[in-house]
């Protein structure tokens, strides 16, 4: 076997065998195939596509390039959830305590933010003392005690994906459905939960811009998950507006707590209940309708908040935030973006709002950038709302910058509206 033959086969749309894909992934991970040749193969996949059979083989080869977690010591059904990302997407932080308080187990590894999308781990680290890097034994212990734990991706999970993902970023091959699928599903399969829920987003703030694109990716990932022996379900959800009112790390934790306290019943709450119900029904806890009712009761009874509180405490975080959100980091500077006339908001460019949050300091332009945990945006309106002159449309927060001229200009330009 050699890399030139494999490049030519994919270039000519000839299907690769399982052995060829295994050899390719192993050889590249071990440094035997140089980046320039792997780049050529990735571009061939990007241009010519991959069969579902090839995508399955690639996913499993990437999964098997490193460790596969052993969750057998958890005495119950384990369920994992993956979101393809978006602006203000804090769903995991609501869903995990809800599902855990209903009797399923949610062991989860998450990533950090890069670009206009935020990272769950960064959000958790805005809680004073919260540890996201734990030994596997402590991670499993917390899951067993409270029902969920979320830690940073660590160890030797999917080293092939780390190398290939980095190369895709540098070679313009990120937008290939089979490569996206293999990257996501190899990590989900390495985590090794019994059930996987996939939240595939579309819209201005998502990687998939249309429902049709998102559905194709969702179907492919669900098929790969099922053929790999997992109970798997994919749902397609809207990312044309930011998820929830708050964007930015500490601000998003504040909104999570307000939802768990039962104080906030916005569109984010509705999405979290939908996803929680799907996770619980996947875990065998009844019909979707019954599980939806169970999830809502977890909020109204306070059980989900108590589960979140106990998990924060076991991670070393300040659990007093569950009663007093003012203990979260707060910004030194703020700026209100106000309406200059009566208007109706037609749409919001979520990706541009994410970029505004990035300018304020809430995210990273480069992988090693530091984050201002206080920075972000509180939205006072959404698409379809009418606002009057001088109403506050959104408030910008930062400790990193005090000059809001660029951020406010871009924030206004992210809105499509007409005068009324």
Active-site annotation, residues: 82, 161, 168, 183, 187
**220 CB-near residues (< 8 Å, 6+ apart):** 52, 55, 177, 178, 181
Picking from 209, 189, 236, the residue whose alpha carbon sits closest to that of residue 55 is: 189
Region for 187 from its dihedrals, namely left if φ exceeds 0, alpha if ψ lies in -120 to 50, beta otherwise = alpha
Neighbours of 205 (CB within 10 A): 27
Q: DSSP letter string over 251-305?
A: HHHHHHHHHHTT---SHHHHHHHHHHHHHHHHTTSS-HHHHHHHHHHHHHTSHHH
DSSP type of residue 208: B
Which helix (H) or strand (E) segment holds residue 109: the answer is strand 106-110
The span from the CA of 94 to the CA of 243, in Å, is 12
**56 CB-near residues (< 8 Å, 6+ apart):** 224, 227, 228
- State phi, psi for 238 to the nearest 5 degrees: -85, 130
Name the pairing type of β-strands 106-110 and 79-83: unpaired
How long a stretch of residues is the chain? 420
Q: Which residues of 328-342 are buried (b: 16+ CB within 10 A; e: fewer)?
A: bbebebebebbbeee
Residue listed under structure tokens 């606002």: 387
The crossing angle, in degrees rounded to 10, of helices 52-63 and 177-191 is 40
Q: Indicate the Cα dihedral angle 146, 152, 155, 159, nearest 10°.
A: 130
- State phi, psi for 293 to the nearest 5 degrees: -65, -40
Picking from 200, 197, 257, the residue whose alpha carbon sits closest to that of residue 232 is: 197
DSSP type of residue 357: H
């Amino acid at each position: 076997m050699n890399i030139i033959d494999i490049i030519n086969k994919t270039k000519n749309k000839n299907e690769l065998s399982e052995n060829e894909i295994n050899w390719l992934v192993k050889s590249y991970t071990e440094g035997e195939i140089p980046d320039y040749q792997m780049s050529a193969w990735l571009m061939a996949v990007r241009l010519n596509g991959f069969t579902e059979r090839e995508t399955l083989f690639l996913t499993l080869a990437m999964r098997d390039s490193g460790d596969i977690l052993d969750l057998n010591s958890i005495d119950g059904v384990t369920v994992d959830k993956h979101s393809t990302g978006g602006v203000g997407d804090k769903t995991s932080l609501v869903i995990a305590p809800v599902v855990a308080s209903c009797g399923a187990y949610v062991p989860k590894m998450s990533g950090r933010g890069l670009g206009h999308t935020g990272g769950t781990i960064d959000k958790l680290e805005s809680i004073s003392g919260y540890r996201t890097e734990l030994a596997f034994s402590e991670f499993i212990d917390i899951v067993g005690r409270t029902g969920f734990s979320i830690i940073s991706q660590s160890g030797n999970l999917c080293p092939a994906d780390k190398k290939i993902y980095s190369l895709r970023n540098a070679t313009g091959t990120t937008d290939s459905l089979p490569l996206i699928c293999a990257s996501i599903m190899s990590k989900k399969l390495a985590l090794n939960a019994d059930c996987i829920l996939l939240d595939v987003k579309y819209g201005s703030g998502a990687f998939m811009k249309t429902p049709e694109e998102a559905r194709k990716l969702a179907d492919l990932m669900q098929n790969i998950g099922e053929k790999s022996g997992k109970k798997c379900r994919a749902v397609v959800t809207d990312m044309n507006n930011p998820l929830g009112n708050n964007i930015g790390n500490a601000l998003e934790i504040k909104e999570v707590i307000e939802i768990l306290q039962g104080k906030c019943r916005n569109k984010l709450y509705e999405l979290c209940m939908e996803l929680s119900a799907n996770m619980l029904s996947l875990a065998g806890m009844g019909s979707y309708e019954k599980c939806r009712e169970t999830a809502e009761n977890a909020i109204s009874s306070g059980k989900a908040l108590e589960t979140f509180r106990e998990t924060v405490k076991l991670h070393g975080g300040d659990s007093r935030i569950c009663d007093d959100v003012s203990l979260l980091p707060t910004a030194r500077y703020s700026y209100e973006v106000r309406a200059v006339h009566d208007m109706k908001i037609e749409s919001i460019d979520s990706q541009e709002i994410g970029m505004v949050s990035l300018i304020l300091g809430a995210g990273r332009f480069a992988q090693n950038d530091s984050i201002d945990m206080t920075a972000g945006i509180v939205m006072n309106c959404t698409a379809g709302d009418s606002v009057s002159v001088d109403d506050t449309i959104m408030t910008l927060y930062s400790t990193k910058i005090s000059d809001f001229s660029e951020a406010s200009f871009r924030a206004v330009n992210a809105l499509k509206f007409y005068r009324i």
